[in-house]
Amino acid sequence: MPLEIVRNDITKMQVDAIVNAANCSLLGGGGVDGAIHRAAGPELLAECRTLGGCGTGDAKITKGYRLPARHVIHTVGPVWNGGVHGEKELLTSCYRSSLELAAENDCESVAFPLISAGIYGYPRAEAIRVAVDTISSFLAEHDMTVYLVIFDKDSFVIGSKLFRDISQYIDDNYAAEHDDSTARSRRLELPRMFSAAAAPIRSVKQKVAADMYRAAQEDTCADEDTDELLCAVAANSLEEALGQLDESFSQMLLRKIDEKGMTDAQCYKKANIDRKLFSKIRGDIHYRPSKPTVLAFAIALELPLNEAKDMLMKAGYALSHSSKSDIIVEYFIQRGNYNIFEINEALFAFDQNLLGA
Ligand code: APR
C-alpha cells in the first residue's frame, strides 16, 4: 500500500528515512524533534550543526545513526497563525521537499509525523488533509511506500461533520449480531429475483421460492420447514450463481479498466495498490485478493454499489452490515466520493483496517 496511516512512535519505524518536524536551527527541541534526537544519539546533533539551519518549508538530510532508519530528513513546518500567512503552502512544501529529497537519496520507504500539528499549532484535520493530499499526488508519479505516523489517538481527527455523518450511517445500518428480528427478517428478505412481487414466475425454483415467500409472510410454516425450503432454494440459487461465475475477479478488473479507458498504472495508483501486487493479479486470472484490495479497486474504478458487490462476489466476498468497515466504504460509494485516501482517513478514524494491499 503506497500510503499507509499507522499508529506508532516514528523512532521505531523500520524505513529508509524518517522525517523530523524540526525548527530552523536544526539543533533539536521538544516533541518529535526531541524524541528523534534522543533515539539517534549525539552524533545526529553533531551532523545537524554542520548544516547551517533550515528554512521553513525546506528539508535537509542526515544519517540516522542509532535509529532503525538509514536517514533523518529534517523539515521545518510553519507556525499556525490563523491560516492567512501562507501556512498551507509552506506545509505542502515541507512534505514535497522531504519526498523529493528522499527520492534523490534512493529511499524506497519514508515515514512522516504530522508536521506542525503539535507545538506549531496547525489544526489537526487540516494538517492531515495537507499531508494526505501532498503525499498522494507525489505517489501518483513515484513508486515509494510512505507512512503517516500518528503518535497518539487524539491527534488524528477528520472533519467533525464527516465524523458525525459516518457515525449516524453506521448506527442506521450496523446489523445487530444475533437478534431474533434478524433471524425473522432472514426468512422474509428473499433474494429480489425470488420475490413474489417480482416479474412473472419463470422457473420452478422461483415458483418454490415465491410459495415460500408467501408462506413466510403468512408465517404459516414452522421454522424448520421454512429453513428446509430456504436451503433447497439456496442450493438451487447457489447452483445458478455458480453457473454465472464465468468471469474471475482478475478478468472483471482488467475488463473494467479497459471500459473506463484507464491505464493499469492509473488504476492501481488510484487504488493505493503497489505495482508488484497489481502484476500478480494481472498475471493470474484465478488470483484471490484480500477483501480490502478488491474494495480498493472498486473505488479506483468508481463502481456503483451493485457493481462493487459483483466484483466482491467474484473474489468470494460480500459487503456486510455487520462490518463497520464495509458500512463506511458503502457510505462513501453511496455519496459518490471515490477518494481512497479520504476513505482511509475515515477508516483510520474509526479504528478500521485501511483499503489497499
Ligand atoms: N512519533 C510520531 N509522532 C510524534 C512523536 C513520535 N515519537 N512525538 C510527537 N509526535 C507527533 C505529535 O503528536 C504531533 O502530532 O508529531 C506531531 C508534530 O508535533 P511536534 O513535534 O510538536 O512538531 P511541530 O508541531 O511541527 O512543532 C515543531 O516543536 O519540537 C519542536 O523543535 C521543534 O520547534 C519545533 C516545533
- What CATH number should be reported for the domain holding residue 73? 3.40.220.10
Higher pLDDT, 255 or 159: 255
Give yes or no: residues 237 and 271 share one domain: no
Res 35 pLDDT > 50: yes
Domain boundary among 199, 221, 243: 243
Is the beta carbon of 13 within 6 A of some atom in ligand 1?
no
In a domain, 169, yes or no: no
Give yes or no: residues 85 and 149 share one domain: yes
In a domain, 63, yes or no: yes
In a domain, 170, yes or no: no
Which of 7, 24, 26, 32 best tests ligand 1's pocket when mutated (most atoms within 8 Å of CB)? 32
What span, in angstroms and rounded, lies between the C-alpha atoms of 296 and 291?
9
In a domain, 173, yes or no: no
Q: Which ligand 1 atom sits nearest the alpha carbon of residue 77?
A: 26
For the stretch 81-127, pLDDT in tens is 999 999 999 999 999 999 999 999 999 999 999 999 999 999 999 99
Q: 31: CA distance to ligand 1 center in Å?
A: 4
What span, in angstroms and rounded, lies between the C-alpha atoms of 74 and 276?
30
**Which of 87-96, 146-155, 284-293, 327-336 is predicted with the least confidence, judged by mean pLDDT?**
146-155
Cell of 327: 458500512
What span, in angstroms and rounded, lies between the C-alpha atoms of 261 and 208?
44
pLDDT of residue 282: 93
At position 35, the amino acid (one-letter code) is A
Give yes or no: residues 7 and 153 share one domain: yes
Q: Which ligand 1 atom sits nearest the alpha carbon of residue 127?
A: 15
Is the beta carbon of 55 within 6 A of some atom in ligand 1?
no
Is the beta carbon of 268 within 6 A of some atom in ligand 1?
no
Backbone angles phi, psi at 4, to 5 degrees: -115, 140
Q: Which ligand 1 atom sits nearest the alpha carbon of residue 114?
A: 17
Stretch 321-346: mean pLDDT: 95
Q: What range does the domain containing 10 cover?
A: 3-157
Give yes or no: residues 255 and 227 share one domain: no
pLDDT of residue 159: 77
Is the beta carbon of 157 within 6 A of some atom in ligand 1?
no
In a domain, 84, yes or no: yes
Q: Which ligand 1 atom sits nearest the alpha carbon of residue 121?
A: 25
Q: 40: CA distance to ligand 1 center in Å?
A: 16
Is the beta carbon of 90 within 6 A of some atom in ligand 1?
no
Q: Which of 202, 215, 197, 296 has the alpha carbon at shortest distance from 249?
A: 296
Res 45 pLDDT > 50: yes
In a domain, 306, yes or no: yes
What span, in angstroms and rounded, lies between the C-alpha atoms of 212 and 215?
5
Give yes or no: residues 146 and 66 share one domain: yes
What span, in angstroms and rounded, lies between the C-alpha atoms of 191 and 342?
33
Q: 120: CA distance to ligand 1 center in Å?
A: 8
Percent of the chain with pLDDT over 70: 80
Res 186 pLDDT > 70: no
Model confidence at 222, pLDDT cuts 50, 70, 90, reads very low
In a domain, 357, yes or no: no
Q: 20: CA distance to ligand 1 center in Å?
A: 8
Give yes or no: residues 13 and 125 share one domain: yes
Is the beta carbon of 25 within 6 A of some atom in ligand 1?
no
Which residue is closest in CA terms to ligand 1's atom 18? 118
Total domains in the chain come to 3
Model confidence at 205, pLDDT cuts 50, 70, 90, reads very low
C-beta separation of 271 from 300 below 8 A: yes
Give yes or no: residues 68 and 31 share one domain: yes
Q: 132: CA distance to ligand 1 center in Å?
A: 17
Give yes or no: residues 28 and 96 share one domain: yes
pLDDT of residue 218: 54
Give yes or no: residues 74 and 51 share one domain: yes
Q: 115: CA distance to ligand 1 center in Å?
A: 7
Domain boundary among 196, 223, 243: 243
Q: Which of 346, 348, 353, 341 has the alpha carbon at shortest distance from 272?
A: 341
At position 130, the amino acid (one-letter code) is V
Backbone angles phi, psi at 139, to 5 degrees: -70, -20
At position 312, the amino acid (one-letter code) is L
pTM: 0.80
Is the beta carbon of 35 within 6 A of some atom in ligand 1?
yes
Give yes or no: residues 275 and 318 share one domain: yes
Which residue is closest in CA terms to ligand 1's atom 19? 118
Is the beta carbon of 30 within 6 A of some atom in ligand 1?
yes
Domain boundary among 243, 272, 299: 243
Q: 8: CA distance to ligand 1 center in Å?
A: 13
Give yes or no: residues 207 and 295 share one domain: no
Strand 3-7 vs strand 145-150: parallel, antiparallel, or unpaired?
parallel
Higher pLDDT, 194 or 276: 276
**Which of 132-136, 143-147, 171-175, 314-318 is predicted with the least confidence, judged by mean pLDDT?**
171-175
Which residue is closest in CA terms to ligand 1's atom 10? 32
Higher pLDDT, 290 or 207: 290
Is the beta carbon of 118 within 6 A of some atom in ligand 1?
yes
In a domain, 78, yes or no: yes
Cell of 338: 471515490
Give yes or no: residues 122 and 24 share one domain: yes
